Amino acid sequence: PALAGGCPVSANAAAFDPFGPAYQADPAESLRWSRDEEPVFYSPELGYWVVTRYEDVKAVFRDNLVFSPAIALEKITPVSEEATATLARYDYAMARTLVNEDEPAHMPRRRALMDPFTPKELAHHEPMVRRLTREYVDRFVESGKADLVDEMLWEVPLTVALHFLGVPEEDMATMRKYSIAHTVNTWGRPAPEEQVAVAEAVGKFWQYAGTVLEKLRQDPSGHGWMPFGIRMQQQMPDVVTDSYLHSMMMAGIVAAHETTANASANAFKLLLENRPVWEEICADPSLIPNAVEECLRHSGSVAAWRRVATADTRIGDVDIPAGAKLLVVNASANHDERHFDHPDEFDIRRPNSSDHLTFGYGSHQCMGKNLARMEMQIFLEELTTRLPHMELVPDQEFTYLPNTSFRGPDHVWVQWDPQANPERTDP
């Protein structure tokens, strides 16, 4: 690689800015140069090593001992003293959950908490997801125009997440209000004057999560992953700790909500931009499961994830020192031609779509992946049936919340002729 002024950082590496417009517009495309020329590079701007090829990203995910996930939820933008003080006032103590927990603590905890994610258990949630989806579509199906994000794809996964976790109905509205702050706090670059406001919201979210947890402890017999965790704590207090439960009460909502909401918004945008593909899945719903997988590959909602090296090591032919922080770019891996033929093409019949790394890989791979898939499939089933004639509002500009990791358009405006709704002629 070309070295800038004798310093071991190439010009491209020096220019890499994950908060800049190129990465925000298309993270995979913005790192094509890296996949081709310098697949592992140090970004002085970020203070991270960036990993962009499929095999390397997978290898990092695979070895969670050398590449620890401990920094996965660390704030990527150093916070001001004032914001830190604000968080301290709320006794904010987000700690290890699962996604950022090291061995040997992680695996026993993951195993202890896995039951609610089995296909048999997830099947119980399907009627709730379908009912909610139908209710939201009912609200706009006759209107002729909707923002799919604001009117459905944001709220339904949030409500599903709250149900899945077992949050009492009466606390859902408050939890909903606070949940967004965590993303900006963790993966965003809030301006200094924004930081205190973000910290206030995060602090309140933390406290409220504690209150809800206490309420669930009074009667942990109910459905939901958090009551289940409280029951497991009674059997294994060293594995399912208090700190885990409080942290997951807050982090779990974000893990289940924004990831799925963004993935669904990306999927509708992508499918409607590729009109013939949309028409194909309208005609043949059996194509939906692989279409979901291909959407997760082509336009996934987790663009990058983080690891920290626990020992001197190598990735490809690059030496990585102990303590190095890594930004592993799942979105880039998913567009690596070394693994996917014609990776930029959107092909819902691609045989290896599900090799994508959007859910991570290995011992920390997303536990909620089948819940997310179920939600996305139901959204597509319902909308391809009820609004097959909808189209993107032309010339709309898609905007994204600037951050390294979570990716989905803020709005997806669609329009259709309600006179032509299939349920008018064939109720």
- Concatenated DSSP letters of 15-56: H--TTSHHHHH-HHHHTHHHHHH-SEEEETTTTEEEE-SHHH
Residue 255 or residue 380: which is nearer to ligand HEM going by CB?
255
Report strand pairing: 391-392 vs 67-68.
unpaired
Residue with smallest beta-carbon separation from ligand HEM: 368
- Choice between 255 and 378, CB closer to ligand HEM: 255
Q: Which is nearer to ligand HEM, 90 or 359 (CB)?
A: 359
What is the nearest approach in angstroms of ligand HEM to the Cβ of residue 236?
Answer: 16
The helix, strand and coil proportions of the chain, stated in percent and rounded to the nearest 5, come to 55, 10, 35
Rounded least distance, CB 301 to ligand HEM, Å: 5
Shortest distance in whole angstroms from residue 131 CB to ligand HEM: 18
Of 9 and 99, nearer to ligand HEM (C-beta) is 99
Query: Closer to ligand HEM at the Cβ: 116 or 203?
Result: 116
User: What is the nearest approach in angstroms of ligand HEM to the Cβ of residue 362?
Assistant: 6
* Least gap, CB of 212 to ligand HEM (angstroms): 16
- Calculate helix-pair angle for 225-235, 192-218, nearest 10 degrees: 60
Which residue, 42 or 61, is less far from ligand HEM as judged by CB? 61
Which residues, including other chains, have CB under 8 Å from residue 7's CB and lie 6 or more apart? none
DSSP state of 113: T
- Cβ burial of 129 (10 Å; 0-12, 13-18, 19+) is buried
CB 406 within 8 A of CB 301: yes
DSSP of 277-329, one letter per residue? HHHHHHH-GGGHHHHHHHHHHHT-SB--EEEEESSSEEETTEEE-TT-EEEE-
243: three-class secondary structure by DSSP? helix
Q: Provide, rounded to whole angstroms, the least separation between the CB of residue 346 and ligand HEM.
A: 17
Nearer to ligand HEM, 13 or 309 (CB): 309
Report the alpha-carbon distance of residue 137 to residue 119 in Å, rounded. Answer: 26
Report the alpha-carbon distance of residue 311 to residue 323 in Å, rounded: 7
Residue 159 CA to residue 161 CA, distance in Å, equals 5
Q: Are 33 and 203 in contact (CB under 8 A)?
A: no
Q: Write out the residues near ligand HEM by the rule CB under 6 A.
A: 61, 69, 98-99, 110, 164, 252, 255-256, 259-260, 263, 300-302, 305, 358-362, 364-368, 371-372
| Residue closer to ligand HEM, measured from CB, 256 or 277 | 256
At its nearest, how many Å lie between ligand HEM and the CB of residue 88?
Answer: 27
Closest separation between CB of residue 366 and ligand HEM, Å? 3
